[in-house]
Protein backbone atom coordinates (compact mmCIF):
# COMPACT_ATOMS: atom_id res chain seq x y z
CA UNK A 1 0.00 0.00 0.00
CA UNK A 2 1.44 3.36 -0.99
CA UNK A 3 0.95 6.41 1.25
CA UNK A 4 3.48 8.70 -0.48
CA UNK A 5 5.61 8.75 2.64
CA UNK A 6 9.24 7.85 3.22
CA UNK A 7 9.83 6.14 6.57
CA UNK A 8 13.50 5.28 7.01
CA UNK A 9 13.74 1.81 8.45
CA UNK A 10 16.02 0.71 11.24
CA UNK A 11 17.31 -2.87 11.41
CA UNK A 12 15.59 -3.69 14.70
CA UNK A 13 12.10 -2.32 13.98
CA UNK A 14 9.44 -4.89 14.80
CA UNK A 15 5.67 -4.82 14.73
CA UNK A 16 4.08 -4.14 18.09
CA UNK A 17 1.92 -6.91 19.48
CA UNK A 18 -1.13 -6.59 21.68
CA UNK A 19 0.96 -7.05 24.84
CA UNK A 20 3.23 -4.10 24.12
CA UNK A 21 3.05 -1.14 26.49
CA UNK A 22 1.09 1.78 25.10
CA UNK A 23 2.91 4.57 23.28
CA UNK A 24 2.94 7.50 25.71
CA UNK A 25 2.42 10.83 23.92
CA UNK A 26 2.66 14.52 24.81
CA UNK A 27 0.91 17.05 22.56
CA UNK A 28 2.42 20.56 22.46
CA UNK A 29 0.49 23.30 20.65
CA UNK A 30 -0.63 26.78 21.67
CA UNK A 31 -4.12 26.45 20.12
CA UNK A 32 -6.41 24.80 22.72
CA UNK A 33 -9.12 23.74 20.27
CA UNK A 34 -6.63 22.01 17.95
CA UNK A 35 -4.74 20.49 20.87
CA UNK A 36 -7.85 19.13 22.59
CA UNK A 37 -9.27 17.78 19.34
CA UNK A 38 -6.03 16.01 18.49
CA UNK A 39 -5.83 14.45 21.92
CA UNK A 40 -9.36 13.07 21.53
CA UNK A 41 -8.44 11.56 18.15
CA UNK A 42 -5.28 9.95 19.50
CA UNK A 43 -7.16 8.54 22.49
CA UNK A 44 -9.24 6.45 20.09
CA UNK A 45 -6.17 4.34 19.26
CA UNK A 46 -5.79 1.36 21.58
CA UNK A 47 -1.99 1.53 21.60
CA UNK A 48 -1.80 5.29 22.32
CA UNK A 49 -1.95 7.11 25.64
CA UNK A 50 -1.86 10.92 25.75
CA UNK A 51 -0.15 11.60 29.07
CA UNK A 52 0.00 15.41 28.94
CA UNK A 53 -0.56 18.59 26.95
CA UNK A 54 1.61 21.71 26.74
CA UNK A 55 1.03 25.16 25.27
CA UNK A 56 4.60 26.46 25.05
CA UNK A 57 8.18 25.25 25.07
CA UNK A 58 8.78 25.77 28.78
CA UNK A 59 5.79 23.60 29.63
CA UNK A 60 7.12 20.99 27.20
CA UNK A 61 10.50 20.82 28.96
CA UNK A 62 8.85 20.44 32.37
CA UNK A 63 6.48 17.72 31.17
CA UNK A 64 9.20 15.81 29.29
CA UNK A 65 11.49 15.83 32.31
CA UNK A 66 8.71 14.72 34.64
CA UNK A 67 6.96 12.09 32.51
CA UNK A 68 9.61 10.94 29.98
CA UNK A 69 7.03 10.12 27.26
CA UNK A 70 7.82 8.07 24.17
CA UNK A 71 6.64 10.66 21.64
CA UNK A 72 6.36 14.45 21.61
CA UNK A 73 4.12 16.04 18.98
CA UNK A 74 5.61 19.52 18.77
CA UNK A 75 4.33 22.64 17.07
CA UNK A 76 7.11 24.95 15.84
CA UNK A 77 5.24 28.22 16.30
CA UNK A 78 4.55 28.69 20.00
CA UNK A 79 4.83 31.77 22.24
CA UNK A 80 7.81 32.20 24.52
CA UNK A 81 10.16 29.29 23.87
CA UNK A 82 9.25 28.10 20.37
CA UNK A 83 9.59 24.65 18.83
CA UNK A 84 13.18 25.03 17.59
CA UNK A 85 14.30 26.45 20.92
CA UNK A 86 12.63 23.53 22.65
CA UNK A 87 14.43 21.06 20.38
CA UNK A 88 17.77 22.69 21.22
CA UNK A 89 17.10 22.29 24.95
CA UNK A 90 16.01 18.67 24.54
CA UNK A 91 19.06 17.85 22.45
CA UNK A 92 21.36 19.42 25.04
CA UNK A 93 20.07 17.10 27.77
CA UNK A 94 20.03 14.06 25.45
CA UNK A 95 16.40 13.32 26.23
CA UNK A 96 15.10 9.94 25.05
CA UNK A 97 11.70 11.21 23.88
CA UNK A 98 11.34 11.02 20.08
CA UNK A 99 9.98 14.18 18.53
CA UNK A 100 7.55 14.58 15.64
CA UNK A 101 7.15 18.17 14.48
CA UNK A 102 3.47 18.77 13.76
CA UNK A 103 3.17 22.12 12.05
CA UNK A 104 1.15 24.29 9.69
CA UNK A 105 4.34 26.02 8.57
CA UNK A 106 5.78 25.30 5.13
CA UNK A 107 9.13 26.95 5.95
CA UNK A 108 11.62 24.36 4.70
CA UNK A 109 14.42 26.20 6.43
CA UNK A 110 12.73 25.43 9.76
CA UNK A 111 12.36 21.79 8.73
CA UNK A 112 16.09 21.54 8.04
CA UNK A 113 16.92 23.04 11.42
CA UNK A 114 14.47 20.68 13.12
CA UNK A 115 16.10 17.67 11.44
CA UNK A 116 19.56 18.84 12.52
CA UNK A 117 18.26 19.12 16.07
CA UNK A 118 17.26 15.47 16.21
CA UNK A 119 13.64 15.52 15.07
CA UNK A 120 12.43 12.05 14.09
CA UNK A 121 9.52 13.16 11.92
CA UNK A 122 7.81 16.12 10.28
CA UNK A 123 4.06 16.03 9.71
CA UNK A 124 2.05 18.91 8.30
CA UNK A 125 -1.21 19.74 10.06
CA UNK A 126 -3.14 19.33 6.83
CA UNK A 127 -1.99 15.69 6.66
CA UNK A 128 -4.68 13.00 6.90
CA UNK A 129 -5.22 11.73 10.44
CA UNK A 130 -4.36 8.14 9.51
CA UNK A 131 -0.92 9.22 8.31
CA UNK A 132 -0.22 11.09 11.53
CA UNK A 133 -1.19 7.97 13.46
CA UNK A 134 1.06 5.86 11.25
CA UNK A 135 3.95 8.31 11.70
CA UNK A 136 3.70 7.98 15.48
CA UNK A 137 3.96 4.21 15.31
CA UNK A 138 6.84 4.34 12.82
CA UNK A 139 8.83 6.88 14.82
CA UNK A 140 8.21 4.93 18.02
CA UNK A 141 9.66 1.88 16.23
CA UNK A 142 12.87 3.79 15.52
CA UNK A 143 12.18 5.14 12.04
CA UNK A 144 12.31 8.60 10.51
CA UNK A 145 9.10 9.97 8.99
CA UNK A 146 8.86 12.56 6.23
CA UNK A 147 6.30 12.63 3.44
CA UNK A 148 7.79 12.55 -0.07
CA UNK A 149 7.11 16.24 -0.79
CA UNK A 150 8.69 17.38 2.45
CA UNK A 151 11.68 15.07 1.99
CA UNK A 152 12.60 16.52 -1.39
CA UNK A 153 12.02 20.09 -0.20
CA UNK A 154 14.16 19.58 2.90
CA UNK A 155 17.04 18.16 0.88
CA UNK A 156 16.88 21.03 -1.64
CA UNK A 157 16.81 23.63 1.12
CA UNK A 158 19.57 21.85 3.02
CA UNK A 159 21.86 21.97 0.01
CA UNK A 160 20.93 25.52 -1.02
CA UNK A 161 21.25 27.33 2.29
CA UNK A 162 23.92 26.66 4.90
CA UNK A 163 23.24 29.75 7.02
CA UNK A 164 20.97 28.05 9.61
CA UNK A 165 23.78 25.73 10.61
CA UNK A 166 25.91 28.66 11.72
CA UNK A 167 23.52 29.52 14.56
CA UNK A 168 23.05 25.99 15.89
CA UNK A 169 25.13 24.19 18.51
CA UNK A 170 28.02 22.20 17.13
CA UNK A 171 27.07 18.57 16.52
CA UNK A 172 29.32 15.75 17.79
CA UNK A 173 31.26 13.77 15.19
CA UNK A 174 29.43 10.70 13.87
CA UNK A 175 31.66 8.28 15.77
CA UNK A 176 30.74 9.78 19.16
CA UNK A 177 27.71 8.80 21.22
CA UNK A 178 24.64 10.37 19.55
CA UNK A 179 21.74 12.17 21.20
CA UNK A 180 18.95 9.81 22.18
CA UNK A 181 16.58 11.80 19.97
CA UNK A 182 18.47 10.69 16.86
CA UNK A 183 17.34 7.10 16.21
CA UNK A 184 18.97 7.03 12.78
CA UNK A 185 22.41 7.24 14.36
CA UNK A 186 21.80 4.03 16.27
CA UNK A 187 21.63 2.15 13.00
CA UNK A 188 25.28 2.67 12.12
CA UNK A 189 26.73 -0.83 12.40
CA UNK A 190 30.38 0.13 11.92
CA UNK A 191 32.08 3.50 11.47
CA UNK A 192 32.16 5.06 8.03
CA UNK A 193 35.58 5.59 6.54
CA UNK A 194 36.65 9.08 5.51
CA UNK A 195 36.09 8.14 1.85
CA UNK A 196 32.62 6.83 2.64
CA UNK A 197 31.75 10.05 4.48
CA UNK A 198 32.83 11.98 1.37
CA UNK A 199 30.44 9.84 -0.68
CA UNK A 200 27.59 10.48 1.78
CA UNK A 201 28.27 14.21 1.60
CA UNK A 202 28.16 14.23 -2.20
CA UNK A 203 24.95 12.17 -2.30
CA UNK A 204 23.31 14.67 0.08
CA UNK A 205 24.37 17.46 -2.29
CA UNK A 206 22.68 15.74 -5.23
CA UNK A 207 25.72 14.43 -7.14
CA UNK A 208 25.22 11.39 -9.40
CA UNK A 209 27.58 8.40 -9.47
CA UNK A 210 29.41 9.58 -12.59
CA UNK A 211 29.83 13.09 -11.19
CA UNK A 212 31.14 11.72 -7.91
CA UNK A 213 33.61 9.51 -9.75
CA UNK A 214 34.97 12.47 -11.71
CA UNK A 215 35.14 14.66 -8.62
CA UNK A 216 36.95 12.04 -6.54
CA UNK A 217 39.20 10.72 -9.37
CA UNK A 218 37.91 7.17 -9.02
CA UNK A 219 35.92 4.88 -11.30
CA UNK A 220 32.13 4.85 -11.34
CA UNK A 221 32.23 1.19 -10.30
CA UNK A 222 34.29 2.14 -7.25
CA UNK A 223 31.61 4.69 -6.33
CA UNK A 224 28.97 1.96 -6.63
CA UNK A 225 31.04 -0.33 -4.42
CA UNK A 226 31.36 2.39 -1.79
CA UNK A 227 27.60 3.03 -1.91
CA UNK A 228 26.89 -0.67 -1.44
CA UNK A 229 29.09 -0.72 1.66
CA UNK A 230 27.54 2.48 2.99
CA UNK A 231 23.98 1.18 2.52
CA UNK A 232 24.94 -1.99 4.38
CA UNK A 233 26.61 -0.13 7.27
CA UNK A 234 23.79 2.38 7.75
CA UNK A 235 20.86 0.10 7.00
CA UNK A 236 19.46 2.37 4.28
CA UNK A 237 18.06 1.08 1.01
CA UNK A 238 18.41 3.97 -1.44
CA UNK A 239 19.97 7.38 -2.07
CA UNK A 240 16.98 9.26 -0.65
CA UNK A 241 17.27 7.48 2.68
CA UNK A 242 21.01 8.10 2.62
CA UNK A 243 20.44 11.82 2.02
CA UNK A 244 18.05 11.87 4.98
CA UNK A 245 20.69 10.17 7.10
CA UNK A 246 23.19 12.85 6.09
CA UNK A 247 20.77 15.64 7.01
CA UNK A 248 19.89 14.04 10.33
CA UNK A 249 23.51 13.38 11.31
CA UNK A 250 25.16 16.53 9.90
CA UNK A 251 27.33 14.57 7.44
CA UNK A 252 26.79 16.91 4.53
CA UNK A 253 30.31 18.35 4.84
CA UNK A 254 32.01 14.96 4.71
CA UNK A 255 34.13 15.87 7.73
pLDDT tens-digit readout, 167-213: 333 443 333 333 333 344 444 457 889 999 899 888 877 678 888 89
List, in order of start, the domains of the chain with CATH numbers: 23-158 (3.40.50.2300), 180-249 (1.10.10.10)
Q: Is the pLDDT of residue 165 over 50?
A: no
- Model pTM score: 0.62
Compute the distance between CA of residue 69 and CA of residue 84 in angstroms, rounded to an integer: 19
17's torsion region: left (phi>0), alpha (psi -120 to 50) or beta?
beta
How far is C-alpha 111 from the chain's CA centre? 10
Closest Cα partner for 6 from 139, 160, 97? Answer: 139
- Which residue would you say has higher pLDDT here, 133 or 208? 133
In what order do the strands lie in the sheet containing 48-54? 48-54, 23-28, 71-74, 98-103, 121-124, 145-146
Q: Is the pLDDT of residue 3 over 70?
A: no
Closest Cα partner for 197 from 245, 151, 143, 155? Answer: 245
Amino acid sequence: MSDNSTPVKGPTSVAADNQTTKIRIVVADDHPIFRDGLCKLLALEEDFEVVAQAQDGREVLEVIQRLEPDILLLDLRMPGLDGLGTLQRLQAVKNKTRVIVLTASDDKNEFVQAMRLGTSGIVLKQTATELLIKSIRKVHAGEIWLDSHTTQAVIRQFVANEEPQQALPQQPPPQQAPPATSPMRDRERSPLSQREREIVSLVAQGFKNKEMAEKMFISEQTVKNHLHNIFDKLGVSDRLELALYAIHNNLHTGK
